[in-house]
Amino acid sequence: MYKAKLAVFDLDGTLLDTLGDLAAAVNHSLSEAGFPTHEMTDYRKMIGHGVRNLVKNALPEGAADEIISQRLESFKAFYAEHIDLNTRPYPGIEDLLVDLQKEGVKLAVASNKLQSGTMTLIKEFFPDIDWVAILGDSPCTALKPDPMVIETICRKAGLGAADTVMIGDAGSDIKTARNAGVRSIAVSWGFRPIEDLAGADAIAHDSFELKNLI
């Protein structure tokens, strides 16, 4: 028996392993302008705060806003064309979502990824899921940890905070849940080290454990 009626999932590092494609796109943008690039693992700590912050953090410290904007546009163009070359769902995620849906749990996505990229990946990898909402970074949605994204999803689902759980791999997801007054489950297979997940209400180490915690 599930405790939650609405499960809100983060995308990068939670549902999908997008690290390789994100790193390749940022490195392309950097090298195109002669800036040093980074190892793929270095991007683990940069992802999750919106694409502008991702590009800003990858550039040398103190880069001008104009440079950040130029490299961001280059990143967006390259990533749009190469968004799914190496991206894959984490083990068991597809079955988990199908099972939850069959049991009547409403499902949604709350990501700091650009809305266009979020929609592209969700529709490609999870086409059989009837999502209540798929919300990414857009002019209409504040970035996590602002609770607006959870509040918007709850309204769309017709459910309250007590019925909702937020699942993610980063401190920003945990803070979002806390700010919105909903329960949080952190997943240990994502981009952040386990010590960053200490504030979650629970931590799942695989999809089976996550299912039981929801």
Cα separation, 211 vs 214, whole angstroms: 5
How many C-beta atoms surround the C-beta of residue 113 within 10 A? Answer: 27
- Per the annotation, the verdict on 10 as an active-site residue is yes
DSSP state of 138: B
Integer CA distances (angstroms), 104 to 50, 52, 97, 124, 140, in order: 31, 36, 11, 22, 28
User: Per the structure block, which two tokens stand in for 197?
Assistant: 């997940």
**Which of 100, 97, 105 is CA-nearest to residue 5?**
105
Quick check: 21 and 84 in contact, CB under 8 A? yes
Hunting for tokens 């270095």 — which residue is that?
42
**Which of 26, 8, 21 is CA-nearest to residue 144?**
8
DSSP secondary structure of 12-61: BTTTEE-HHHHHHHHHHHHHHTT-----GGGGGGTTTS-HHHHHHHHSPT
* Positions marked active-site: 10
